[in-house]
Every structure is written in structure tokens, then in C-alpha cells.
Amino acid sequence: MLLYFLCLVLFSIGIFCILRKRNLIKIIIGIIIAEYAVHLFFALVGYRAEGRSPIFTPSENIFNMVDPLPQALVLTAIVIGLAVTAMMVAIAIRIYDKYGTFDITKIRKLHG
């Protein structure tokens, strides 16, 4: 139960960073934190108490094993997260080139 709660805390920290921080890089870090919280939660969903690794061996009977599917999905989600993070950082660098700042209150060319 504690683990799930910590997951929620991590997610909230991430969302807080996205909403409240003014620095582009800190916003990106916030997204990464929130993303990791979701990934962690996904991995926890597959967890079974006292479970063993889901590797089939003919010699022994397996009674309780963790669900391997979320782990595979989390790997995919991490790769997607990598692509998104790379995109974010690349755009942040270009913004820094143009505006000379990471402060979102100063990056306001768009109206409305």
C-alpha cells in the first residue's frame, strides 16, 4: 500500500513541477518525474506478493509469478518517453537560442 501511495506522491510532484515551475528545463523534469511515476505504477500492477520471475522451466511447478506483461509494456512506454523527452529538450534548446532565456514568463511572443 505504501508503495502505491509513494507512486501517487511522485506523480503529484511531477504535476506540481509542470504547473508551477517557470523554467523550461524544470517543466521538462516535472514531466519526466510524472512519467516515471506512471511507469512505476504500471510495473506495480503486475506485482504479486511473494511472486517469482515469470520464467517457465519444465522441471518445477510455478504457483505464483509476477505478471510479465506490464514489464514489457513499461519498456515500450519508456522508449516512447525517451523520444518525447528528446523532442522536448531539442525544442527547449532552440527556444534558448531564439529568446536567450528559459523563463516562460519572458517567452511570450504569442498573443491570446
Partner 1 sequence: MHNIIPIFVIIPLAGAFLTSLIGKKVKGVPDMLGNLSTACLLIASLLSISFVSKCGVLVYKVGAWVPPIGITMVMDGFTSFMLVTVNLVAFLVTVYSVNYMEKFTSKWTFYTLFLLMLAGMNGVIVTGDMFNLFVFMEIASVASYALVAFGTEEEELEASFKYLIMSTVGSLFVLLGIVFMYSYTSTLNMADMAAVLTQKGAGNITLFTGVLFLMGFGLKAAIVPFHAWLPDAHPSAPAPISAMLSGVLIKSLGIYTIARIFYNVFGMGAKFTEVLLIFGALSMVVGALLASGQWDFKRLLAYSSISQIGYIILGLAIGTPLAILGALFHLFNHSVFKSLLFLNSGALEYATGTRDMRLMGGLKEKMPVTGRTSFIASMSIAGVPPFNGFFSKLIIIFAAVQAGYIGYAFLAALVSVVTLAYFATVQKNVFFGSPSGALTASDGKVTKKWDDIKEPPVFMKVPVIILAIICIFGGLLIAPRFSQNFLKAATDALMAGKDYAATVFGGLGL
Q: Please give the residue ranges that form the binding site for partner 1 (CB under 8 A).
A: 15, 18, 24, 27, 31, 34-35, 38, 41-42, 45, 69-70, 73, 76-77, 80, 83-84, 87-88, 91-92, 94-95, 98-99, 107-110, 112
**What would the grid cell of residue 1 be?**
500500500
Q: Is the dihedral of CA 89, 90, 91, 97 positive or negative?
A: positive
Least distance CB 2 / partner 1 (angstroms): 18
Least distance CB 55 / partner 1 (angstroms): 18
Residue-by-residue DSSP string for 1-49: -HHHHHHHHHHHHHHHHHHH--BHHHHHHHHHHHHHHHHHHHHHHT--T
> Among residues 13 and 88, whose Cβ is nearest to partner 1?
88
Q: Do residues 85 and 60 touch, judged by C-beta distance below 8 A?
A: no
> Among residues 60 and 108, whose Cβ is nearest to partner 1?
108
> Among residues 24 and 60, whose Cβ is nearest to partner 1?
24
